[in-house]
Amino acid sequence: MTDRDVVLAEILDRHLVAMDAFHSGDPDPSRALWSDDEPVTLFAPGRPMAIGRGEVVRTFERAAARLSDGRDGRFEVHHVEVAGDLGVLAGVEHSVFSVEGGPPQAQSLRVTLVYRREDGAWRLAHRHAGVEP
């Protein structure tokens, strides 16, 4: 098994569970993906840049509070790169969810994720997402 295969196996399932939970209003699984070690950064669509774990967690909590009925999450992987204790995934996240009780809507985001291996576990250090045109 290559480093790429290991990273995908360890990250993708957790990421998809966290994504569906987040889009259902539960930020806890997303919070658990993030590193406790600085630096961590989040560039989310339509939001100011979040720098530091505290800001990142608050951003996820505020956003998740507006969402419900998350489902059908999938990650279309376009690129994976692993070098030592860093792993980078780039691709498109697809999901369906409701915003503030409205009708369910589909969303696709172009996403780049940077993971660090910390004490043997892959933890998220950076997320950059933008709306797929």
pLDDT band at 47 (very low <50, low <70, confident <90, very high): confident
Supply 105's token pair.
């809507």
User: Three-state secondary structure along 84-131?
Assistant: CCEEEEEEEEEEEEEECCCCCEEEEEEEEEEEEEECCEEEEEEEEEEE
Supply 31's token pair.
């919070």
Could you give all domains of the chain from N- to C-terminal order, each with its CATH number?
3-131 (3.10.450.50)
Candidates 116, 54, 113, 49; CA nearest to 80 is 113
- Is a pLDDT exceeding 80 seen at residue 133? no
Lowest mean pLDDT among 4-8, 49-53, 112-116, 121-125: 4-8
| 127 neighbors 112 (Cβ within 8 angstroms) | yes
9-15 contact pairs (CB < 8 A, 24+): 10/121, 10/122, 11/87, 11/89, 11/113, 11/115, 11/122, 12/75, 12/77, 15/75, 15/113
